Structure 1
Amino acid sequence: MMKLSTFLHSLICMGLLASGSSAVYASDYDVVILNGRVIDPETNFDAIANVGISGNTIQKITDKSITGTKTIDASNKVVAPGFIDIHAHGQNIGDYRMQAMQGVTTMLELESGVLPIEDWYATQGQKNLPLNYGAAAGWTFARIATFTDTSPQATTKYFQDAQSLTDWKMNIADPTQQKNIMSLVEEGLEQGGLGIGINAGYAPGHGQKEYFALAQLAAKHDVATFTHVRYASNTEPQSSFEAIKELIANAAITGAQMHICHINSTSLKDIETIMPMVGQAIDNGVNITVGAYPWGAASTVVGAAMFSGEGWRERMGSSADNFQLGTERMSEEQLADYQSNSPGTFIVWHFLDEANPKDLALLDASVTNPNVLIESDEMFWMSMDDHGHIDNYEGNQWPLPPKLFSHPRSNGTFAKVLRSYVRERGILEMSEAIRKMSLMPAQTIENFVPQMKKKGRIQAGMDADIVVFNPDTIADVGTYQDPNHPAVGVSWVLVNGAITVNDGQLDPQVSAGQPIRR
């Protein structure tokens, strides 16, 4: 009888069995995703293929047969890098779960940012979050702390409570105050903050020198700024055009990378003038990046500085009827009451009418521009009592309690791009939409956040942050009047290799999110 060792040696010689134990088990993976249309936006790979995953890493992309402990059949589905949202404000577990249902795998608070950074990361790390998380150092938090002589607190309430004050919004800092503001922001960077969040639209009275100093600070630490520009106006002076030109000038002079947040909403109806200016700056080598979301309405606090002063209605083309409180439009009486007594209340502000072809064309001009990535500006899920008092929802219930509301961009931005722009209207190619929602956000911060070099791609060696969706059914479901519905059409979401959404159902027991930090 032939010895077992001799038998195995014969098989190896005949090529029927690979030599070496590692080769024997080469097709064994923890998870395999089979027969899907795999799209990698960096290499332009776009083919039916199989994906092998071990631990938190993609090991193989192949057209050969592979097996795994867990098998996902992705036939007739798209397999893409998980979507990366670099502009998201709702930072409670319910907010993350809603985002997971539309294929988001990394959710970052970069526009407003927070302070102190150390406290924020510690708190987030205790929430058992399903997605990767991170934040920038928040300039508005430093400004509030300086003008109120308090220590910043990494909470939404700290920001909301400050809306009743005007000095931090409208006053130029004296040299001592500016030094303190910069010190607090720099401390946030030293604690691992992902750049500098500059929510200038909420404090438009800050000085030119202060904004320039922030750009210098970003250049010093080799990070980016993420700016909601100081003005929102169709008319001059103090127009949206002027505010964005200021950002471009600071980037050109200092060499700092500066990101323009939600150019669709800050440009209002002047996008056809502003977008070419931004494009020319990029063509000339100015280090700016740009984001937008596919909605004609924003979400903000009713007491924001832009909704004050003489002539704001004319400048912004808005009145109380453009504001939505909960599910209803506001009256002028309500607007005056809330601005006086509850200025930190979040409302939806309708600045464009998507049913109007001219307004929709303005929105499309930003969303489809090849220089513009997709960001959601996701907002908190909130409840409102019978007296109109609003609270952010911090509970653990899933699905979310039925009476909660938010802006529909909070659970439908990425799904809407795939539904409206790709499937229904055909004005974006699938691969381009995926590039805007995964690779571009990763590339925006990867030069100073090395973790992001392994995200936004479907390649061997990359992080296993993956979305599998049905291109024929993916859709945003929530509306402005009835927003509390998860997106549909996403079949599987993997975060660091862990299956967070399984066959269309979120698994609330999975908490695979990891901190993204410098």
Structure 2
Amino acid sequence: MLMTDNEIRPERPQQPNEPGPYDIVLAGGRVVDPERETDDILNVGITGDRITAISAEPLEGARVIDAAGLVVAPGFIDLHAHGQQLPAAWMQAFDGVTTALELESGLLPIADFYDKVAAEGRPINYGASAAWTYARIAEKEKDMAPPKAELTWFQRAFARDGWQNSLADEEEVKSIIAGVEEGLEQGGLGIGINGGYAPGYGRKEYHALAQLAAKHGVPTFTHIRYLSVQEPDSGFEGLGELISLAAATGAHMHICHLNSVAGRDIKACVELVTEAQQRGLPITVEAYPYGACSSTVGAEVFRDDWLARWGVDDASAMELNGQPLTQQRIDELQKEDPGAVIVMHFLHPDDNDADAEMLDLSVLHPGAAIASDAMPWARNDGTIIEGDVWPLPDDAFAHPRSAGCYARFLARWARGGPERQKPKLSLVEAIRKTSLIPAQILETSVPQMRNKGRIQVGADADIVVFDLATVQDEATFTEPAQHSTGFQHVIVNGTPIIQDGKEILEARPGHPIRRPLATTRPAAPGAPV
């Protein structure tokens, strides 16, 4: 049964400590386990890639890390990380992320993605969903087929209009669904439905995707069809469409970046989602702690009357490489370079109390995960930075959420500060949003996730050790390529990748997060067995 906001999932059975000595001991830290609501000074023992002891008594280890005065928490699980390149992984590691998953957009072919990343190695865990948009592009833009498991392939598609705005006929829908299903059978973590980038797709096509998710018992990760504060074709309407499919098919429908798809209409949108969740519908939510989104300039949501639909006053709300744009320049980019990645400010929470309260409604929504929507890092000419590149070059650019999402959330909402004099939630609840909730969203269909998001004996040793008093996002909209500070130690599968605030570049302990590969297709609902 899927967890909703009003349900409490049963805890994992408590396991006894295993005998030492241990490979690593984290000594005397403030240990936070969000599932059991532990918040106490304890010692943690690690053997191999697992947590094997938690005790108030001293533990013996081959290596002892003094964690006094620091928080010891489960590593953060990012459900929405487009930056799957090695430099992006390092930037997220400095933000406390130990698992970064590309779920909203996804990729195809899934097997190619996992093979490529495994060959390179990663410091953090990785994975992806099966991408509906990739299957749709391959079907509607025949000369681009077959799809390539690369973000650049997706970016190039923004020069085409057919896949974004035309209905698929019955045979095309069958082909699209078959492409997505193949991705699921190759271990995809669910179905990425980037509907906001192809708002012209049919309701029956969306229904078929929800049916496919229900058939395989996986979530959909949906960027809803519309991004507008105006009706018709509003974000509110897009959320209603998603909710209706969850009710009709029973599919687990996950809402990506509630803060940006709702925009300035967040109050009404949150009320709608809350009502659906209170009725027990299998709907989960994520948000990121910024009032600006990032996308390609050629996306349909930035065409025609986009200013009115977003509720912003001027084209300068959109920026390229930190520089405000004019509508004339936007028009030029949409013709010449539609895949260029921009930032667009729809709220100003640092300068406007009402905007800050709007952002709180999504970030603090009960049961909502924090997910970064981290973008890949690119040079000023738009070239994505790939390969074994670290540190990032001086001209590296992305939305600052790609570097500072989790530090920002902790500093502004869990610690409080000049802008927010009092914390908005407890540390246990903050860690629940960054670690446990993301694991629970996936664990029904991805068995690996049952051992993540917890500081418990038997859980995976994905651990962050940070100073709550000093943790801080350093990335800004004009200088984004600055990693967060305050994370002293980051451990992935029992292997340190950041030690005393310094990266260990040769470390590549990241594991693939992947559903079991299909050996046979599951039977259709009602089929004889």
Using structure 2 for the length normalisation, give the TM-score: 0.92
Report SS of the residue matched to 2:464. Answer: strand
Q: Give the residue type in structure 1 aligned to 2:489.
A: W
Off by >3 Å, runs of 4+ in structure 1:
none
Paired residues of 1:130 and 1:511 also in contact (CA < 8 A):
yes
Give the structure 1 partner of residue 126 of structure 2.
Answer: 133
Letter in 1 for 2:494: G
Structure 2: which amino acid aligns with 1:100?
A
Q: Secondary structure at 1:268's aligned position in 2?
A: helix
| Alignment equivalent of 1:516, drawn from 497, 513, 521 | 513
3-state SS of paired residue (1:383): coil
Residue 316 (structure 2) aligned to one of 301, 313, 321: 321
Asked if 1:74 corresponds to 2:67, the answer is yes
CA–CA separation in structure 1 for the residues paired with 2:389 and 2:65: 27
- State how far apart, in whole Å, the 1-side matches of 2:178 and 2:171 are: 11
Q: Which residue of 1 aligns with 2:526?
A: none
> Corresponding residue for 1:483?
480
Match of 2:370? Answer: 374
Distance 1:153 1:446 in 2: 28
Question: Which of 216, 226, 234 is matched with 2:229 structurally?
Answer: 234
Q: CA deviation at 1:484?
A: 0.9
How far is the alpha carbon of 1:276 from its aligned partner?
Answer: 1.2
Is 1:148–2:141 an aligned residue pair?
yes
Aligned positions of 1:435-450 closer than 5 A = 435-450=432-447
Larger Rg computed on CA atoms:
1
Aligned-partner Cα distance in 2 for 1:39–1:461: 16
Instruction: Name 1:427's counterpart in structure 2.
Output: 424
Q: Counterparts in 2 of 1:155-234, with a 5 A limit?
A: 155-234=150-229
1:184-234 Cα distance to aligned partner (Å, 9 max, x none): 000000000000000000000001111011000000000000000010111
DSSP 3-state at the match of 2:264: coil
In the alignment, what sits opposite 1:110? 103
Counterpart amino acid of 2:409? V
Asked if 1:407 is matched to 2:399, the reply is yes
Indicate the residue corresponding to 1:45 in structure 2. Answer: 38
Is 1:395 matched with 2:392? no
Distance in 2 (CA, whole Å) between partners of 1:450 and 1:423 is 33
- Match among 292, 299, 316 for residue 294 of structure 2: 299
Partner SS, residue 475 of structure 1: coil
Distance in 2 separating the partners of 1:346 and 1:43? 41
Q: Which amino acid aligns with 2:400?
A: P
Q: What's the % identity of the aligned pairs?
A: 49
Give the distance between the partners of 1:300 and 1:208, measured in 2 at CA: 24
Separation in structure 2 between the aligned mates of residue 460 and residue 422 of structure 1, nearest angstrom = 26
Give how far 1:261 is off. 0.2
Matches within 5 A, 1:46-65: 46-65=39-58
Q: How many angstroms does 1:83 deviate by?
A: 0.2
Query: AA paired with 2:471?
Result: I
Matches of 2:390 and 2:220 in 1, distance apart?
A: 35
- Kept in 1: contact 2:367–2:437 (CA 8 A): no
Q: Distance in 2 between the 1:332 and 1:277 partners?
A: 33
Q: What corresponds to 1:284 in structure 2?
A: 279
In the TM superposition, what is the alpha-carbon distance from 1:317 to its structure 2 partner? 2.0
The answer to whether the aligner puts 1:470 opposite 2:462 as a matched pair is: no
Aligned pair 1:502/2:499, yes or no?
A: yes
Q: CA deviation at 1:320?
A: 2.1
Determine if the alignment matches structure 1 residue 94 to structure 2 residue 94.
Answer: no
Which residue, out of 359, 366, 371, partners 1:363?
359
- CA shift for structure 1 position 27: 2.8
CA RMSD of aligned residues (A): 1.1
Identify unmatched segments of 5+ residues in structure 1. Answer: 1-22
1:289-334 deviations in Å (ceiling 9; x for gaps):
000000000110000011123x322111234211110021112221
CA deviation string 1:259-292 (max 9, x = no partner): 0000000001111001011111111010000000
Structure 1 Cα separation of the partners of residues 44 and 334 of structure 2: 53
Task: For 2:290, give the aligned amino acid.
Answer: W
* 2:444 aligned counterpart, secondary structure: coil
Report if aligned partners of 2:414, 2:424 keep a CA contact under 8 Å in 1. yes
How far apart, in 2, do the equivalents of 1:332 and 1:280 lie? 39
Quick check: 1:279–1:371 contact (8 Å CA) kept in 2? no
- What is the deviation of 1:371? 2.2
Distance 1:504 1:329 in 2: 34
* CA distance in 2 between partners of 1:157 and 1:484 (Å): 21
Q: Which runs of 5+ in 2 are unaligned?
A: 1-15, 516-529
Deviations, residues 11-45 of structure 1 (Å, cap 9, x unaligned): xxxxxxxxxxxx9x933000000000000000111
AA at the equivalent of 1:287: P
Q: Secondary structure at the match of 1:64?
A: coil
Once the two structures are superposed, what CA deviation does each residue of 1:426-459 show, in whole Å capped at 9, x if it has no partner? 1121111100000000000000000000000000
- The residue that corresponds to 2:490 in the other structure is 493
Q: 1:461 matched to which residue of 2?
A: 458
2:522 equivalent in structure 1: none
TM-score, scaled relative to structure 1:
0.93
